[in-house]
Amino acid sequence: MPSKKTLELKEFNLEDLKNELGETEQQFSKMTFDHATKGLENPLALREVRRDIARLKTEVRKRELEAMDETQLAKRSKIRARRRK
């Protein structure tokens, strides 16, 4: 069952997703730095932000794959087949 956050991401357009991804990555790097220097009140927040980044990247990639035409998908399948060997 998809989480509520995943369902919310489907409503965004691609540009908004990329902007949100950039902001979230900046937030994560700032939180990581703060955690290394003075510590965070809730270090588990790092895990949540990291997972949010993964959700955003997954949604962006999913939309990129949906936008590909048949020749690009066929080429991608050949590359993936070579990697498996």
- Please give the chain's pLDDT, 85 residues, in tens: 567 788 888 889 999 999 999 999 999 999 999 999 999 899 999 999 999 999 999 999 999 989 988 888 888 878 778 887 7
| Among the listed residues 73, 59, 66, the one whose alpha carbon sits nearest the alpha carbon of residue 19 | 59
Q: Judge whether 68 and 74 are in contact, CB under 8 Å.
A: no
Residue 14: partners with Cβ closer than 8 Å, 6 or more residues away: 60, 63
Domains and CATH numbers, the chain: 4-84 (1.10.287)
Residue 60: partners with Cβ closer than 8 Å, 6 or more residues away: 14, 17, 18, 21
Q: Judge whether 52 and 27 are in contact, CB under 8 Å.
A: no
